[in-house]
Amino acid sequence: MSGDVVTALAKLLPEAALDDAVQLLDERGLAKLELMASEIRGITADVSRKPIETDAEEAFGVELLARGVAAVKELEALRRSRVDPLNAEVKAVNALFKVVTDPAEALVGKGGTLERLILAYRQVKRARIQREQEEARRRQEEAARKEAEALAKADAAKTAKARAAAMAQAEAASKAQAVAALDAPREMTRGVKTDSGSVSGRERWVFSVEDPALVPRQFLAVDEKAIRAAVAAGVREIPGVAIFLEESLTRRVG
């Protein structure tokens, strides 16, 4: 390895980057990196920040631009010579593991088969608990009404026998309320825990748009893709949109 190349690179790269370059690149790669880094530094030194005022200055700017583009392409080719084989290896490894992980993800991943089955069961279970709770509340309310009627009869009873009968009815209604309260199911559990792990349910409000025409303006977004397509097709006036001509440069090296 040429010590001159490393010495030259030491003036162009930070110390940490120089160490990485020496570790990652062979002598040919180091030489190309040093050459292109020197070229870019030279171009940078020649670029004036003041506005171009003459054709000659424009031509000089074009020359610097072309040299810079060429240097960037050379650097990109050097980079690709190192990363493409690594990326190919990563791609091959990923493909290998996907053979096993894809079926596993379909089974246990987000939105997978098991999650859908569990969520479907919890939805049915939640609906059943709500129905049973509503039925228990109905039974308690009915028992409370009967108890109140029985107590009212006891207060209005003319004889001890009638009063005793009314009180018996009130006591039976009170017991019925207690039974209905005990029969009421508990609230839906948030999750299930087993020896291997646990799953917890999480509720959140979501939405789906049913009629876009009714959505308030503050919830609407400008469709820039549609505007861009319209301008490209020749539209030159759109309310609320400024359409103007912008020039860009096409680069060609050589």
Q: What is the 3-state secondary structure (H, E, C) of the chain?
A: CCHHHHHHHHCCCCHHHHHHHHHHCCHHHHHHHHHHHHHHHHHHHHCCCCCCCCHHHHHHHHHHHHHHHHHHHHHHHHHHHHHHHHHHHHHHHHHHHHHHHHHHHHHHCCCCHHHHHHHHHHHHHHHHHHHHHHHHHHHHHHHHHHHHHHHHHHHHCCCHHHHHHHHHHHHHHHHHHHHHHHHCCCCCCCEEECCCCEEECCCCCCCCCCCHHHCCHHHCCCCHHHHHHHHHCCCCCECCECCCCCCCCCCCCC
pLDDT at 59: 94
For residue range 151-181, list pLDDT tens digits in order: 998 899 888 898 999 899 989 989 998 998 8
Does the pTM exceed 0.85? Answer: no
Distance of alpha carbon 172 from alpha carbon 165, whole angstroms: 11
The per-residue pLDDT for 2 is 64
- C-alpha–C-alpha distance, residues 247 and 80, integer Å: 31
pLDDT (0 to 100) of residue 216:
95
- Which has the closest alpha carbon to 23: 33, 11, 35, 38? 33
Average per-residue pLDDT for the chain: 91
Tell me the mean pLDDT in the region 197-214. 89
Say what the pLDDT of residue 8 is: 92
Q: Would you kindly state where each structural domain of the chain is located, as residue ranges?
A: 3-108, 113-188
Closest CA to 167 of 143, 149, 142: 149
Contacts of 192 (CB under 8 A, 6+ apart): 198, 199
Largest CA distance in the chain: 124
What is the pLDDT confidence band of residue 116, given thresholds at 50, 70 and 90? very high
Q: Cα–Cα distance between 58 and 107 in angstroms, integer?
A: 62
In this prediction, residue 107 carries a pLDDT of 94
What pLDDT, on a 0 to 100 scale, did the predictor assign at position 195? 87
How far apart are alpha carbons 22 and 33 in whole angstroms? 11
Q: Look-up: residue for tokens 């006891």?
A: 154
Cα distance between residue 209 and residue 206, in whole Å: 10
Average pLDDT for 83-108: 96
pLDDT over 90, % of the chain:
68
Q: Check whether 1 has a pLDDT greater than 60.
A: no
pLDDT digits (tens, 9 = 90+) for 25-82: 999 999 999 999 999 999 999 998 889 999 999 999 999 999 999 999 999 999 999 9
Percentage of the chain exceeding pLDDT 70: 99
Mean pLDDT of the region 144-153 = 91
What is the pLDDT at residue 198? 87
Q: Is it the case that residue 11 has pLDDT exceeding 70?
A: yes
d(CA 182, CA 136): 9
Residue 219 has pLDDT above 90, yes or no: yes
